[in-house]
Amino acid sequence: MSETKRRIPVYGIVLICVAALVHLAIIVAVVATLPAGFHALLGPHPYQDYTDTNGTDDTSLALLTEEELLTEDSAYLAKRTSEGKSGTQTGLGFEWDDYDYQQVKSRSKFITGIKTLQATFVEQGTLVLEITSTLRSGNAEIIILVDGEYCQHVAVNETVSVTLEDMDGKTVIVRMGCEAAEMEIIVERKIEE
């Protein structure tokens, strides 16, 4: 038996090349419009229309609820934001790696929503937090949670030192809620055994 070689006709090669070019063009078009495509699929950001509805003299939250502030982790819309993190971690694990730092700084020209600032696992001892915040406009509240439960509010536009005693084996979270806020905040922690 003789072997016969099958040859692909020239028009077959041309069709394959055209099909590949069409697929490539579709991929390029999708990648070029990806951000717009995602926003269309997801709909508007839940906080995009939040504004300062209670006036410039009242900095308390007007639209975000206490329940949202206690239960949401980080869901916010921010513009022109810078952040800094430094120091050692306390070993909270992967879920909290972005928040488990000795010092956390955040500055936003505009922020609306709920943002976790710092998370700390206190193996043993007392946790001392120093929180410095400057609210230039909008509304903001800062809270501290211990093991997921409300502990206390922290005043805005001040430097506040908070001492939490007997925190052995507990997780402490510092979180803020903002509505159309221009804000700077620094959170520093110290664990005393």
In whole angstroms, give the CA distance from residue 113 to residue 119.
18
Helices (H) and strands (E) in the chain, counts: 3, 6
Q: Whole-model pTM?
A: 0.74
The answer to whether 110 and 51 are in contact (CB under 8 A) is: no
Please report which confidence band the pLDDT of residue 2 belongs to, taking 50, 70 and 90 as the band edges. low
The DSSP letter of residue 165 is -
Residue 49: count of CB within 10 angstroms of its CB: 11
Higher pLDDT, 31 or 36: 31
Q: Which SS3 state, helix, strand or coil, does residue 91 take?
A: coil
pLDDT number for residue 14:
77
Q: Which amino acid is at 124?
A: Q
In whole angstroms, give the CA distance from residue 41 to residue 38.
5
List pLDDT tens digits, range 56-80. Answer: 788 888 888 888 888 877 778 888 8
